[in-house]
Every structure is written in structure tokens, then in C-alpha cells.
Amino acid sequence: MNLLDNEYNNYDGNLGVEYCKDGTKFIVWAPNANNVRLALFGKDEKNYTNAPEEILDMNRGVQGTWNIEVKRNLEGEFYNYLIINSGNEREVVDPYAKALGVNGNRGMVIDLKKTDPINFEEDRKPELSSATAAVIYEVHVRDFSINENSGISSNKKGKYTAFCEHGTTIPGKYTKTGIDYLMELGITHVHLLPAFDYETVDESKPDMPQYNWGYDPKNYFAPEGSYSTNPFNGEKRIREFKEMVKSIHKAGLRVVMDMVYNHTYKSHESNLNLAVPGYYYRQDQNGNFSNGSGCGNELASERYMVRKLIVDSVIYWAKEYHIDGFRFDLMGLHDIETMKQIRAELDKIDTSILMYGEGWTGGWTPLSGEESSVKQNIVKFDKMQIAAFSDDTRDSVKGHVFNINEKGYVNGRTGLEESIKFCIVGATGKQGINYDKVIYSRFAWANEPYQCINYISAHDNYTLWDKLYLTNNESSQEKRKNMNKLAAAIVLTSQGIPFFQAGEEFLRTKKNDDGSFSHDSYNAPDSVNNLEWDRVFEYKEIVNYYKGLIKLRKKYKAFRMNSSEEIRKNLTFLEYGEDFYKENVVAYKIEDNSEKNLCNTIVVIFNPNDEEAFIDLKECGWSVLVNKERAGVDEIYAIEGNSITVPSKCAHVLIKK
């Protein structure tokens, strides 16, 4: 336990700046500081290296806080704190700064009401019937529009405002791009890679090509400036971020933010550590910063004021920016109680706001395994909507993310039937699964399907299309396309919450200049990371297949059951040796036994083999909605008789007439 973690220092009130035209209040938590002063730098946004124009002594307050009220209109004024710890004075950006100057090096006093777009108070989230009704699409702000053929206006490329532009197409074609494309695709959530203020892009050089995924946190309460049309202006980035959210909502989609509370880019020199040395970070047995993130440090979420910072930040984004979901990077580094508190506070705002994250760590951590929000502990959340990514699904479907040559279910590895079944039930408990044969998990780690994120590709590691090439470069492109479609069918017809990387549906590739494939493109150039919109036209049959699967999922509740009890009642696996005789085939039936208007009886069949598979359906009267070539809600053809032969490398979805 940290010595500062006690009732004398645990502060429950508001921190940061409280602006009023007649006077602005500043309050910062710095319990072991010898002295704290407020430095005011004036309002010239371009003069961002000048010395303070005014320095004011702050007053020691309650529970480790320092405060001051400046009784004049400070709107637009840049500020920092000068904090003395152990005799050394350091300039510190307010950890609760809601607006920032360029590169996040100074806080800014702002009237937040003036940052709202027109009618922002009337902005409403699109309806979401349940968490399992979500279809999440992960995209980087810059990747989305920077490509020369995105059709997005040049002044909006790579910016928040790109999401506000309608009517864009691939030049010379009628193929939609941008926000119109997302609407047509059918997804429900746009998951943005980190868009809070991060360290590793120089915002003062907006015309210089720069790139980073953004997993380098600097300031947790303000948007990243490099995605703004004017990174020098603290108000501009806020308004444009809000305009983006409003536009996405108006398009019928929700917004998820990728939050990185597990570490900060800097360690000893971070704003947090300069404010309160040693408090915000975990230490090892030698007193050094522990490194469970693999990035040099890890935040001690279990400490009172660290937990407060995280909870306050999430709630602020939800309220001020109308954010609809939060993804937690390396969620395993967050203690269970912190995650529960976030969920409880979000529920007070809107129970439909999503929470999910990576149920693992990046290395050893002093945080107890019993307290960690790792995948195995998701069961400790009872029925709370806090989900973990299923690496069981990811690696069983396409092969291990770190072993280039390892194949998965769709691309040639055998003996993965039980892992695929585990994916189908959203990591919940179900008869008919041999858990001893699931690749990673020996028990159901999700109490409910809305606690499982099923996915096969994300920003990390190789794209799905590149992975399929690396494991099957001897195969024809057509065969690899079929593998891709089969992978998509598994994820989008399984219980839980489906998630996929932007461009997976048009065979996104990340090729380096030397022709090799990038598996870690966090700082690679646009030429590697950009969405190549031409591929939407080139591979429109794959895009249409994804559209069809999403449409199918949306129409039938059978694919998005909201409780494990429903899954147990309504879903049964067809049996090898009784319903089919081909190894590696996985097939299941969904019947409406819970009287919740799920669907007519549905049968789903996955055949990853290079040969066709015969399935005995036991009864007649079936229509095919998904086959090797097409997917959707319309009948492709009616089955004559009580059996079907499923071709190689494909999924079939049948519905009882």
C-alpha cells in the first residue's frame, strides 16, 4: 500500500478547472508537495514556448489538494502548475486538463459550452436493443480518410471532420466511401483507436506526414490535436471531435473510444509522476516502476486517486462527448473493483454504453491475479456488461497471432472443433463442448454472451488477409477468399459481440515497401496503414458477403441471444457420427424454445475441409440463406429433401420454412 493512500489524502471532489466568466477555480491533487503555484501564459496559441506572464501562489486545501480562484475572465488562457516536491520545482500539465495547447504541453481555460456544435444538446445515441446486437468496426482516425482515393475533401483527410462528410465515392466510380460506406455496411459501432491526447505525433508540424496508433497516453481528458484542423487551438479539437460524434450518431452509428489507462508514454517525467512522485505507478520489490504493460510502467488502478482519475475520465468522455462505449487496452492491468466502479457509474448515464477490453497483461505485474481483470476473472463480474476479447476465437479460427506459420480452423489446421464450438456459444458454459480440447480455456470464462468479444483481426498483428497468405501462399486467391468468408461467418453468426478490423471485409493488407507484411504497424507510414478504398470496388463480393452476414445477424435474434440460459435452451450441436461423418465439420441448430421470438429453426454448418461434407438434416423444408457465394436474409434456394452437401471451405446457414 502506498503511504499516500489514506483517508487524509483520498479526495472525492472535483479536480481541474471550473470556469466562470467572473472567476475561474483551479484545484490539483498534490498531497506531498512543499508548494504549488499557478503559471498563466496568456492567450497566444502560437506562442507556446513563452515564459509565464503571471505566477500566483495556490492555497493548500483539504485531503492533499491545492487551489486558487482567479477572479477575472480567463477564457482562452493557457496554464500549468509549478509544483515543488523534495525541494525541486517542476512545471506540470494539469492531469485533469479538459483543453490543451499544441502537443498537450499546456492546459487551457475554456468555456466548454462554446465547444458544442449546433444542437449538440439534442444529440442522441442510436437505439441498441442489447449489447449482443452490437457489430463493432475498429478504425484509426487517420487511416479512415487519408488514402488518395477516399473521396474525402483534402482539408479533412486524416481528421475528425472526415467522419462528417457525406456523398463521398471512389473517384470515377459510384462506390461509396467514408461515413456513407459505414452506414451501408451495416455495423452499429465505430471503434476509434486512441483519440485522447497522446505523445508521439508532433502536433506543431501538421503538414509533415506522421503516424502513430496512439497507445502513448499523455493527457486523459482532452482529444488528440493531430486529428484537428488546428492543433494549436484547444477549442477547435474539442468542437471537431464533438462534430464527429454527432455526425456518426446522425448516421445511425455509435462511437467507441479506445482508452489506454494501463500506462503512460513517459514514466518518471510524466505529468502524473511530476505531480505526485511514485504514487500513480506500481513498483516492484526493488522500488522500481513495474512493467506489466511492456511500455515501461503501469498505472496502479487499485489506489484510490488513480481509480478516481480513471473513473472520472471515462465518465467525462461519456457525458461531455456522448461516447457510447469504451475499450480498455491491457484491461488485465486494471483491478476488478475499478472496472466495477466504471460500470456502475456508466449505468447511471446509460446502461447501453459498452465496456470491453483485452483480458491479459503485457508482462509480469505486482497486481494480484485474484484482483486482475484478466479473461479468467470475467466470471467475477457476475452479470455486468464488461467483456473481454476472445483469443480463443481469434487463434482457433486463423492460427496463432505470433506464430506466422501456425494455421487455424479455416486455413488448414485440424482438431479445432471444440474451440469453434466455444466461440459459437460466446465463451459461456454449454453441454456438448469438450472444454479440455479448447485451445486456451478449460472452462467457460463468460457468465453471459455479452461478456465475450468474438474477433479474428484487430490493429495488432497481421491482418486476416495477410495471415491467410502467409499460412497458405500455395493456395489460389479464390481459395483464400473462401477462407476469409468462412472466418467472417463464424464470428458473425456466433453468440457474443462481434468485432472486426476496418478493411477486413475488403481483404485489407499491410505491405511494407520491401513487399513483406507488417505485423506491428504502430508507427508505419500511411502507405502501410491507410484504408485502400479501391479494394472496396475490387473485392465487392467479399464486402457484400459481410453486409449479408451483418444483415442476417440483425434480423434474427437467434444470433444475438442475450443470456447464457437462452443459449443453453435454444442451441444444440449436431453430432459427428450421427448427423455427419466428416471430421472438422461443426454444425449446430437453434430452435426457439424460450418463446422470445428468436426465429424459425436455423441450422448453421461450417466445413473447413478441402472436400465437401454431407449433413443429415433429419427433416425437410429448408431454405439456404448463406452459402459459399452469398450471404443475407433472402432465400438463395430451397433444399429438396432432408439433407445437404456442403462444399469445401464454406459456411451454410439454413432456415426452416
208 lies in the same domain as 147: yes
Residues 6+ apart with CB under 8 A from 571: 424, 425, 430, 495, 561, 588, 589, 590
331 lies in the same domain as 416: yes
Indicate whether 158 belongs to any domain.
yes
pLDDT tens per residue across span 162-173: 999 999 999 999
Full-model pTM = 0.97
Q: 297: alpha, beta or left, given left = phi > 0 and alpha = psi -120 to 50?
A: beta
Indicate whether 140 belongs to any domain.
yes
Long-range contacts of 523-530 (CB under 8 A, 24+ apart): 523/200, 523/211, 523/212, 523/213, 524/211, 525/209, 525/211, 526/142, 526/143, 526/146, 526/147, 526/209, 526/211, 529/140, 529/142, 529/143, 529/211, 530/142, 530/143, 530/146, 530/147
pLDDT at 472 over 70: yes
Which domain CATH number covers 87? 2.60.40.10
Cell of 653: 446457414
| Three-class secondary structure of residue 261 per DSSP | coil
How buried is residue 456: exposed, middle or buried, by Cβ count under 10 Å (0-12/13-18/19+)?
Answer: buried
pLDDT tens per residue across span 293-322: 999 999 999 999 999 999 999 999 999 999
pLDDT tens per residue across span 497-514: 999 999 999 999 999 999
pLDDT tens per residue across span 263-284: 999 999 999 999 999 999 999 9
pLDDT tens per residue across span 616-636: 999 999 999 999 999 999 999
Which pLDDT score, from 0 to 100, does residue 8 have? 78
479 lies in the same domain as 343: yes
493 lies in the same domain as 603: no
Indicate whether 284 belongs to any domain.
yes
289 lies in the same domain as 182: yes
Number of folded domains that form the chain: 3
Indicate whether 230 belongs to any domain.
yes
Which pLDDT score, from 0 to 100, does residue 577 have? 94
Among 88, 115, 142, residue at a domain's last position = 115
Among 80, 115, 150, residue at a domain's last position = 115
Residues 6+ apart with CB under 8 A from 403: none
Indicate whether 343 belongs to any domain.
yes
Instruction: Give dist(CA 272, CA 93) in Å, integer.
Output: 9
223 lies in the same domain as 306: yes
Which domain CATH number covers 586? 2.60.40.1180
Is the torsion defined by CA of 593, 596, 598, 604 positive or negative?
Answer: negative
100 lies in the same domain as 142: no
Long-range contacts of 584-591 (CB under 8 A, 24+ apart): 584/409, 584/414, 584/415, 584/416, 584/417, 584/608, 584/609, 585/417, 585/609, 585/613, 585/615, 585/646, 586/417, 586/420, 586/421, 586/424, 587/615, 588/421, 588/424, 590/558, 590/559
Which pLDDT score, from 0 to 100, does residue 594 have? 66
Residues 6+ apart with CB under 8 A from 604: 424, 493, 587, 588, 589, 590, 651, 652, 653, 654
Catalytic-residue membership of 45: no
Which pLDDT score, from 0 to 100, does residue 596 have? 67
Between the alpha carbon of residue 572 and those of residues 110, 488, 626, the distances in Å are 57, 21, 19
Q: Which residue has the cell 487551457?
A: 108
Categorize the per-residue pLDDT at 1 as very low, low, confident or very high, splitting at 50, 70 and 90: low
Torsion of CA 136, 139, 141, 142, to 10 degrees: -170
pLDDT at 599 over 90: no
Instruction: Give dist(CA 382, CA 582) in Å, integer.
Output: 38
Residue 586 structural domain: 571-656
Residue 254 φ/ψ, nearest 5 degrees = -105, 165
Residues 6+ apart with CB under 8 A from 555: 633
Among 85, 115, 145, residue at a domain's last position = 115
pLDDT at 447 over 80: yes
With CA atoms as reference, report the closest residue to 298 among 224, 361, 236.
361
pLDDT at 495 over 80: yes
Q: Report DSSP state, residue 516.
A: P
305 lies in the same domain as 382: yes
Instruction: Give dist(CA 271, CA 265) in Å, integer.
Output: 10
Q: Report DSSP state, residue 335.
A: B
pLDDT tens per residue across span 362-383: 999 999 999 999 999 999 999 9
* Comparison of pLDDT for 595 and 562, the residue scoring more: 562
502 lies in the same domain as 360: yes
Q: Report DSSP state, residue 50.
A: P
Of the candidate ranges 65-79, 489-503, 536-550, 587-601, the one whose mean pLDDT is the lowest: 587-601
When pLDDT is averaged across residues 148-161 and rounded to a whole number, the result is 98
Spatial contact of 169 and 153, defined as CB atoms under 8 Å apart:
no
Catalytic-residue membership of 350: no
Which pLDDT score, from 0 to 100, does residue 464 have? 98
pLDDT tens per residue across span 319-366: 999 999 999 999 999 999 999 999 999 999 999 999 999 999 999 999
Residues 6+ apart with CB under 8 A from 344: none
Spatial contact of 404 and 502, defined as CB atoms under 8 Å apart:
no
46 lies in the same domain as 174: no
Q: Report DSSP state, residue 224.
A: -
Q: 618: alpha, beta or left, given left = phi > 0 and alpha = psi -120 to 50?
A: left
Between the alpha carbon of residue 423 and those of residues 40, 133, 197, 212, 409, the distances in Å are 55, 16, 35, 32, 12
Is the torsion defined by CA of 452, 453, 454, 460 positive or negative?
Answer: negative
Between the alpha carbon of residue 149 and those of residues 160, 209, 356, 396, 526, the distances in Å are 18, 17, 33, 35, 13
Indicate whether 4 belongs to any domain.
no
Q: CB 577: neighbour CB atoms within 10 A? A: 6
pLDDT tens per residue across span 244-256: 999 999 999 999 9
Instruction: Give dist(CA 609, CA 583) in Å, integer.
Output: 8
Spatial contact of 64 and 4, defined as CB atoms under 8 Å apart:
yes
Question: Could you write out the DSSP letters of every residue in 274-325?
Answer: HHSTTTSB-B-TTSSBP-TTSSS--B-TTSHHHHHHHHHHHHHHHHHS---E
pLDDT at 466 over 70: yes
Average pLDDT, whole number, for the chain? 97
When pLDDT is averaged across residues 515-542 and rounded to a whole number, the result is 97
| Three-class secondary structure of residue 511 per DSSP | strand
| Active-site annotation holder among 329, 395, 532, 534 | 329
Indicate whether 565 belongs to any domain.
no
Which pLDDT score, from 0 to 100, does residue 653 have? 98
| Active-site annotation holder among 199, 235, 258, 358 | 358
pLDDT at 595 over 80: no
With CA atoms as reference, report the closest residue to 586 among 617, 618, 608, 614.
608
Q: What angle do CA 337, 319, 244 make, to 5 degrees?
A: 120
pLDDT at 230 over 70: yes
- CA of residue 299 relative to chain centroid, distance: 20
Indicate whether 595 belongs to any domain.
yes
Between the alpha carbon of residue 93 and those of residues 16, 76, 82, the distances in Å are 10, 16, 9
How many C-alpha atoms does 376 have within 13 Å on its Cβ side?
Answer: 10
86 lies in the same domain as 148: no
Categorize the per-residue pLDDT at 112 as very low, low, confident or very high, splitting at 50, 70 and 90: very high
537 lies in the same domain as 598: no
Instruction: Give dist(CA 152, CA 584) in Å, integer.
Output: 45
**Element housing 550 (H / E):** helix 540-555
| Three-class secondary structure of residue 377 per DSSP | helix
Instruction: Give dist(CA 16, CA 95) in Å, integer.
Output: 7
With CA atoms as reference, report the closest residue to 628 among 642, 603, 608, 614.
608
Instruction: Give dist(CA 474, CA 467) in Å, integer.
Output: 13
| Three-class secondary structure of residue 68 per DSSP | strand
Radius of gyration of the chain measured on its C-alpha atoms: 26
pLDDT at 238 over 90: yes
